Amino acid sequence: MLAIKNLQLNSSGKLKHFLSIEGLDKSLLTEVLDTAESFADISEQRVKKIPLLRGKTIVNLFFENSTRTRATFELAASRLSADVLSMNIATSATSKGESLLDTIRNLEAMQVDMFVVRHSLSGAAHFMAEHAAPHISVINAGDGQHEHPTQAMLDMFTIRRVKQQFSGLRVAIVGDILHSRVARSQIHALNILGAQEVRVIAPKTLLPAQVESLGVTVYHDLAAGLKNIDVIIMLRLQKERMNSALLPSESEYFKCFGLSDDKLKCANKDAIVMHPGPINRGVEISSSVADGPQSVILQQVTNGIAVRMAVMSMTMHSNAGTE
Amino acid sequence: MRIEIVNGQIIDPMNEVNVQGNLYIAEGEIVGVGSAPEGFVAQHRVDAQGQVVCPGFIDLSTRLREPGQTHKATILSETRAAASAGFTSLCIPPDTNPVIDTPAVLELIKDKAEQCAYAHIYPVAALTKKLAGKELSSMFALKQAGCVAVSHAQEAIHDLLVLRRAMEYAATHDLLLMYSPQEQALSNQGCAHEGAMASRYGLPGIPVAAETIALMQCIELIEQTGCRVHFRGLSCARSVVLIAKAKQLGLPVTADVAMHQLHLTDEDMQPYDSHYYVLPPLRSVQDRSTLIAAVQSGAIDSICSDHQPHNIDAKLGAFPETEPGISSLETVLPLLLRLVEQGAIELSQGIAKLSSEPARILGINSGSIAIGNVADVCVFDPATEWQVNAETWQSQGRNTPYWLATMQGKVTHTIQAGKILFALQN
């Protein structure tokens, strides 16, 4: 844990890489949110560009497919006037091809300044940060089942905009916690920012071992778990989890853990509904809830750009300071 | 060569010897303990003042990587490392390439090792052809060629009927089965102990039940087949309970634990440092303390290095895609001394776990330095401090979580069959 912390911060405690929420403190997370707030206005102006990262080259390195995350990272980089190169590197377990290290070395040789990396294996971003040249910042855009810290920060940003503060908030994260890097980052972020309670609601097949140790209370019943809840975060259920030994069927999952209008009524009246997307309508959430008045799902997408701009500019500036 | 080792603390656990004195070697055998035989004139003298003189260590699982993976290590490099660490005999698991499933491969490895002449090699033959878990290997021929036991290394045997038949056949030829219990369906491609740390780092977990269920199945088959089984590399507290129960029933079972399992836990894992990736995985603090207690009580019979040298590339990558295993021969002695220092085990008992106990498990006439025995001797200075680094390290594999750590306890002389194979340069 200590090593993650040290690796992410430079000698003066500024953000050098953004690899995990774990290991960061409240003031840093708040700084990310405040910085994002200042960038949010830019997106609403007619000319959506500021020259903060002009002349910098950012490489989006996606070893795993993603549409939205990649798109918002690209937009964030271009709004900061950086040059962006996006690479989709399809990998399969059987043919690994070029090693991660060789990929890093090759791109370094092209004089880039930042890697935004998504990888199917936990620890991949951490590995890149450890081995990349000192002037390069690494931003984790999701590593295996570990963390997806920018997603968690845009969720925090969205929560703060609606609820103003975290103290006193009760948040429920519903669904596939076991395979979710988003959930891990959210749990850390909510605890660091001082939420009153973080609950996870899922069947035992979708919960990691000793999940309580992450700082959550566990529920297996959606209605009971949503009681007194201010923020509901639904997780995407990957189709491939179905018809395995993890879950019997989509319909049974929806009956137990899907967020319907009825279930939503168990939460506080002013509860907001979030989802990192893409949504499986009728599997984890009903259309009426996803498109309903309590849903902030599309705001999350919008906020993603400002938050990623904030993280990119903060890591790049702390790095410039150390040169 | 006639050698006298003088003024050492002679520890021979098999014969409950623990005395200050001299040891005399001639013609490859121990010829005197305490006093020299009549007319003995030494050609070589080792001053062991302040040092311990004990049987050479016997390892139940050492990967030499040859044949097949000589980019990782070779018979020469690893047997030399073994000699520098006090080991005089090594059991070689069958998962070489080609697999040790024919007398030809077995003899090839023995010949090569004899040429290198740094340690005595005990090849362990494959239980099934190509370790595929389908057809029995020619165990009788392999035994005649000199295998000390049979094993399935880390490979799964998916079909319990095959395991049953293989155990029956091994028992027919009175062959010991070395078995690493792991139910692969439950391991489910995991790479860390299923617990809070794996959950935190998002690493696929290996539950305790993956080991205990395989262990229970095998124990039931021992009852049925009468096969002698040595369980290799236990990692969980629950396994200790099962082994103790099997022993209570009088079943022919023994067990070992890798030295690193007695020191490291999942909480010691530096985030994503692949040097902590081993199979079975580093378990919980509670598992570790139970394992230590089991070594002390005898429920676990011996301690093993589980040496697995790797090339650099094997450990470079995201944690789950790296290769498991620690290059561990050279840290065995200092880690044993750490346990002694912690009061977890007596020194003579610890030495037994590395010498007389593995000899008993294998049924070989070794592991003692009483008069008349083959002169396999280790002399070490328990006080010498040294750092694990490129200068001190002998193994070709530098994959150890202890790299750059300071160790206490260093072998000064290793003698095998009366020949000095290693002498520490000052």
| Model ipTM value | 0.90
Question: What pLDDT is attached to residue A42?
Answer: 80
Q: Do residues A112 and A82 make contact, with C-beta atoms less than 8 angstroms apart?
A: no
Contact B200 A213 (CB under 8 A): yes
Asked whether the predicted pLDDT for residue A92 surpasses 70, the reply is no
Check CB contact of B200 with chain A, cutoff 8 Å. Answer: yes
Is the minimum CB–CB distance between B320 and chain A shorter than 8 Å?
yes
Candidate from A4, A184, A213 with C-beta closest to B202: A184
Question: Can you give the pLDDT at residue A245?
Answer: 81
**Share above pLDDT 70 across residues of chain B, in percent, rounded to a whole number:** 100
Residues of A in contact with B316 (CB under 8 A): 99-101, 131
Which residues of chain A make contact with B196, given a CB cutoff of 8 A? 209-210, 213-214
Output the pLDDT for position A244: 72
- Sign of the torsion angle spanned by Cα atoms B251, B256, B262, B264: negative
Same domain, A242 and A100: no
Per the structure, the count of domains in chain A is 2
Q: How far is B266 from chain A (nearest CA, A)?
A: 12
pLDDT mean across residues, chain B: 96
- Note whether B196 contacts A: Cβ–Cβ < 8 A: yes
Cβ contact (<8 Å) for B195 and A210?
A: yes
**B202 contacts in A (CB within 8 Å)?**
122, 143-147, 181, 184
Query: How many angstroms separate the CA atoms of A205 and A218, rounded?
Result: 13
Contact assignment for B272 to A126 by CB distance below 8 Å: yes
Residue A95 confidence class, pLDDT cut points 50, 70, 90: very low
Task: Look at residue B382 in the predicted model and tell me its pLDDT.
Answer: 98
Q: Do B319 and A127 touch (CB under 8 A)?
A: yes
pLDDT-based confidence at residue A21 (cuts at 50, 70, 90): very high
Average pLDDT of span A176-184: 95
Interface residue A100 vs chain B (CB under 8 A): yes
Give the pLDDT confidence score for residue A93 in this predicted structure.
42
Same domain assignment for residues A161 and A278: yes
Q: Are residues A14 and A42 in the same domain?
A: yes
Q: Which residue of B has its CA nearest to A188?
A: B200
Burial A49-85 (b: 16+ CB within 10 A, else e): eeebbeebbbbbbbbbebeebbebbbbbbbbbebebe
Identify whether B376 is a catalytic site residue.
no
Q: Note whether A211 and A269 are same-domain residues.
A: yes
B199 close contact with A: CB closer than 8 A? yes
Look at residue B351 in the predicted model and tell me its pLDDT: 98
In order of their start, the domains of chain B are 3-53+374-383+406-423 (2.30.40.10), 55-362 (3.20.20.140)
- Residue A135 pLDDT more than 70? yes
The three-class DSSP label of residue A255 is: helix
Quick one: A155 and A297 in the same domain?
yes
Instruction: Write out the E strands in B104-214.
Output: 120-126, 149-151, 177-179, 192-193, 205-206
Mean pLDDT over residues A258-273, rounded? 97
Stretch B87-113: mean pLDDT, rounded?
Answer: 96
Contact A162, A272 (CB under 8 A): yes
pLDDT of residue A230: 98
Q: Residue A211: its chain B contacts at CB < 8 A?
A: 199
In sequence order, which residues have a C-beta less than 8 Å from that of residue A274 and are 6 or more positions away? A155, A158, A159, A231, A232, A233, A234, A295, A296, A297, A300
Could you tell me the pLDDT band of residue A97, with boundaries at 50, 70 and 90? low
pLDDT greater than 60 at residue A3? no
> Which residue in B272, B276, B319, B322 has the most chain A C-beta atoms within 10 A of its own C-beta, making it the best mutation to test that interface?
B272
Which residue among the candidates B59, B95, B266, B306 is catalytic per the annotation? Answer: B306
- Whether residues A78 and A204 share a domain: the answer is no
- Scanning A168-197 for CB atoms below 8 A from B yields 181, 184
How many residues are listed for chain B in this entry? 426
- Is the CB of residue B255 less than 8 Å from the CB of residue B312? no
Interface contacts (A, B; CB < 8 Å): 79
Chain A interface test: which of B193, B312, B321 (most A C-beta within 10 Å)? B321
Grouping H, G, I as helix, E, B as strand and the rest as coil, residue A11 is coil
pLDDT of B182 higher than 50: yes
Quick one: A167 and A285 in the same domain? yes
Q: Does A10 touch chain B (CB under 8 A)?
A: no
Task: Give CA–CA dist A26/A190, Å, rounded.
Answer: 10
| B270 interaction partners in chain A (CB closer than 8 Å) | 3
Please tell me the predicted confidence (pLDDT) of residue B130: 97
Closest chain A residue to B203 measured between Cα atoms? A122
CA dihedral for B89, B92, B97, B102, sign (positive or negative): positive
From A96, A119, A146, residue closest to B201, measured CB to CB: A146
B317 contact A CB<8A:
yes
Strands B377-387 and B419-423: unpaired
Contact of A45 with chain B, judged by CB distance below 8 Å, is answered with no
Tell whether A124 is within 8 A of chain B (Cβ): yes
Q: Report the percentage of chain A scoring pLDDT > 70.
A: 93
Measured between beta carbons, the chain B residues lying within 8 angstroms of A124 are 318
Same domain, A18 and A83: yes
Nearest 5°: CA angle at A287, between A286 and A290?
90
Those of residues 236-295 in A touching chain B at CB distance below 8 A are none
Q: Where are the alpha helices (DSSP H) in A98-180?
A: 100-108, 124-131, 149-163
* A160 contacts chain B (CB < 8 A): no
Q: How far apart are CA A187 and CA A172, in angstroms?
A: 10
Domain that holds residue A28: 2-147+303-322
Residues of B in Cβ contact (< 8 Å) with A142: none
What is the pLDDT at residue A4? 53
Q: Which residue of A has its CA nearest to B312?
A: A101
Is there a contact between B178 and B150 (Cβ–Cβ < 8 Å)? yes
Question: What tens digit of pLDDT does each residue of B299-344 get?
Answer: 999 999 999 999 999 999 999 999 999 999 999 999 999 999 999 9
Condensed to tens digits (0 to 9), the pLDDT of residues A33-83 reads 999 999 998 877 777 788 999 999 999 999 888 888 899 999 999 999 999
User: Chain A partners of B204 at a C-beta cutoff of 8 Å?
Assistant: 145
- Stretch 41-60 of chain B: residues touching chain A, C-beta under 8 Å: none
pLDDT at position A277, please? 86
pLDDT higher than threshold 50 for residue B90 = yes
Residues A44 and A184 reside in one and the same domain:
no
**Contacts of residue A101 in chain B, CB cutoff 8 Å?**
316-317
Condensed to tens digits (0 to 9), the pLDDT of residues A271-291 reads: 999 999 889 999 999 999 999
User: What pLDDT is recorded for position A2?
Assistant: 45
pLDDT category at A107 given cuts 50, 70, 90 is confident
B319 touches chain A (CB under 8 A): yes
pLDDT value of position A263: 97
Question: With an 8 Å Cβ cutoff, are B199 and A208 in contact?
Answer: yes
* pLDDT surpasses 70 at B156: yes
Residue A102's pLDDT band, with cuts at 50, 70 and 90, is confident
- Which comes out higher in pLDDT, residue A107 or B267? B267
Q: Does one domain contain both A221 and A295?
A: yes
Same domain, A36 and A77: yes
Place of tokens 């306890």: B409
Inspect the interface and report whether the beta carbons of B318 and A181 lie closer than 8 Å.
Answer: no
pLDDT, tens only, B194-232: 999 999 999 999 999 999 999 999 999 999 999 999 999
Q: Do A161 and A234 share a domain, yes or no? A: yes
Spatial CA neighbour of A112 closest among A92, A82, A88, A91: A82
Q: What is the structure's pLDDT at A110?
A: 86
Tokens representing residue B98 in the block: 């080609």
From chain B, the residues in CB contact with A146 under 8 A are 201-203
Flag whether residue B403 sits within 8 Å of chain A, measured between CB atoms: no
Classify residue A134 by burial, with Cβ atoms within 10 Å: 0-12, 13-18, 19+. exposed
Q: Taking CB atoms and an 8 Å limit, are B271 and A184 in contact across chains? A: no
Residues A237-247, buried b or exposed e (16+ Cβ, 10 A)?
beeebeeeebb
> Are A147 and B200 in contact (CB < 8 Å)?
no
Please name the member of B194, B271, B273 whose beta carbon is closest to the beta carbon of A209: B194
Res A41: pLDDT = 82
* CATH number for the domain that contains residue A209: 3.40.50.1370
